[in-house]
Amino acid sequence: MIQSNTDNSDSNSNKKENSDSSDYIRVHLIISGKVQGVYFRKHTQDTSRENNVYGWVKNLLNGDVECVLEGLKSNVDKVMMWCHQGPPGSHVDNVRIKYEEFIGNFNDFNIV
């Protein structure tokens, strides 16, 4: 079963004036389930780069994967949708999504 928890508590603070579907956004994700030992980070990096999304991904000690995604909303949405499925061999139980203020300080997508 896949669940998504979205924190929109400050969603208005990350939108530019005259916003539309091409806005740049930043999201912070925590992905849980069978997401380590299945190349989740590498596939996230590849998917992000294919979609011109920047940021980072890392394993957490509790077995979850954490990532920050920045880019055009439509591109970030594609990567977030992918994160709900994951690569072959993974099983995503939950994706916690927190929208944050877009910073734009990344120029690549890295595994950290």
User: Could you list the active site residues?
Assistant: 41, 59
For residues 11 and 93, what is the distance between their CA atoms, to the nearest angstrom? 24
pLDDT digits (tens, 9 = 90+) for 9-24: 444 333 334 445 459 9
Average pLDDT of the chain?
A: 87
Of 111, 102, 109, 110, give the one whose Cα is nearest residue 51: 109
Please report whether residue 31 resides in a domain. Answer: yes
For residues 38 and 103, what is the distance between their CA atoms, to the nearest angstrom? 30
* % of the chain with per-residue pLDDT over 90: 80
Please report whether residue 65 resides in a domain. Answer: yes
Please report whether residue 112 resides in a domain. Answer: no
CATH number, domain at 88? 3.30.70.100
H or E element, residue 57: strand 54-59
**pTM of this structure:** 0.81
Containing domain of residue 41, as a range? 3-107
11 dihedral zone (left: phi>0; alpha: psi -120 to 50; beta) = alpha
pLDDT digits (tens, 9 = 90+) for 39-54: 999 999 999 999 999 9
* % of the chain with per-residue pLDDT over 70: 80
Burial (CB < 10 A; 0-12, 13-18, 19+), residue 3, is exposed
Please give the tally of structural domains in the chain.
1
